[in-house]
Chains A and B, each alone.
Chain A
């Protein structure tokens, strides 16, 4: 079964607000995590990744935080825009050497204008 799950299946925010999407993982051997954005009817797109030797990584308007103590991952989107509306997935490598990812179920983010 899946070892990566999400706390909130849906999230609705106002345009301009910050969004936080959470993810819990259960495999302590996982050392690589990645966030994907999937718009309706399309394939997932890479957003940002983080390795377990880091606690925080920033990209353009996005920040990923990793708390290894409680096995928690979050994606923060600053100044959320309508174009950010999508399903967001976290994924982990489960510590394997075969370069496979295990995906969570996803969170639907809706941005209201």
Chain B
């Protein structure tokens, strides 16, 4: 069976500091990968998605970037965090040619 991991689970970072959130998927190959942000009491906003190693599509202009150095690894980064980057970050994966996405446990980021 497939599993998805995210870490860290929670993170408190000062404004202007860098960020690196990691997501890994086990039990499948060549998945589609997604990064979402969820503000408190809000829906999910798609930030990035990837259909393969090194292939990243950005959905919204922002202070964040994503990378996929390995088939089942997806990283969300920032060089300098803003207060507005606070939120709940969710990674998801799907099989190729499938809309059904499976979500990780999320990372709660607080920028102070």
Contact of B97 among A36, A42, A99, A105 (CB under 8 A): A99
Chain B residue numbers with a CB within 8 Å of A105 are 42-43
- Inter-subunit contact B99/A93 (CB<8 Å): yes
- Inter-subunit contact B103/A44 (CB<8 Å): yes
Chain A residue numbers with a CB within 8 Å of B34 are 100
- Inter-subunit contact A45/B103 (CB<8 Å): yes
Taking the complex as formed, is B86 at the interface, i.e. its CB lies under 8 A from any CB of chain A? Answer: no
Most B C-beta atoms less than 10 A away, residue of A36, A89, A99: A99
Taking the complex as formed, is A34 at the interface, i.e. its CB lies under 8 A from any CB of chain B? Answer: yes
**Complex formed: what's the CA distance from A28 to B56 in Å?**
28
**Complex formed: what's the CA distance from A95 to B42 in Å?**
23
- Inter-subunit contact A44/B44 (CB<8 Å): yes
User: In B54-112, which residues have CB < 8 Å from any A CB?
Assistant: 57, 59, 90, 92, 94, 97-106, 108
Which range contains the number of B residues in contact with the other chain?
Answer: 20 to 34
User: In A27-75, which residues have CB < 8 Å from any B CB?
Assistant: 32, 34, 36, 41-46, 49
Q: Give B64 Cβ to nearest chain A Cβ, in Å.
A: 17
- Inter-subunit contact A103/B99 (CB<8 Å): no
Chain B residue numbers with a CB within 8 Å of A41 are 106, 108
- Inter-subunit contact B49/A100 (CB<8 Å): yes
Chain B residue numbers with a CB within 8 Å of A43 are 90, 92, 103-106
Taking the complex as formed, is B46 at the interface, i.e. its CB lies under 8 A from any CB of chain A? Answer: yes
**Complex formed: what's the CA distance from A49 to B99 in Å?**
10
Most A C-beta atoms less than 10 A away, residue of B103, B104, B105: B103
Chain B residue numbers with a CB within 8 Å of A93 are 99
Task: State whether A44 and B49 are in contact (beta carbons under 8 Å apart), knowing that A99-B99, A103-B43, A105-B42 are contacts in the complex.
Answer: no
Taking the complex as formed, is A20 at the interface, i.e. its CB lies under 8 A from any CB of chain B? Answer: no
Listed by A's residue number, 18 A-B pairs whose Cβ atoms lie within 8 Å are: A2-B43, A34-B99, A34-B100, A36-B103, A43-B90, A44-B44, A44-B90, A46-B100, A46-B102, A49-B99, A89-B44, A100-B34, A101-B46, A102-B46, A103-B43, A105-B42, A105-B43, A106-B43
